[in-house]
Amino acid sequence: MSPTDSLQETQAKMQEYIDNQVKLGWLINRKVRQVEIYRQGKSVEVIESPTELSGEDILQGFILDLQIVWE
């Protein structure tokens, strides 16, 4: 999420991606150190200050290190 992005607009965009068959999406909000995880067919999961994100079964073996994002 860019500093100029609206949270509501970005959440709507993420939901649109999921509605259009994207299987996994991360909304990373640096301002509050929070990540919203979007998955098809599931409720949005919100996590606080994670150190990493997993590509789960969609991007097997992929790990996004968030340490540099939070700095």
Q: What is the pLDDT of residues 12-52, one digit of tens each?
A: 999 999 999 999 999 999 999 999 999 999 999 999 999 99
pTM of the model: 0.91
For residue 35 the two structure tokens come to: 């990540």
Euclidean distance between CA atoms 65 and 71, whole angstroms: 12
| C-alpha distances in Å from residue 20, one per residue of 11, 14, 24, 27, 33 | 14, 10, 11, 16, 27
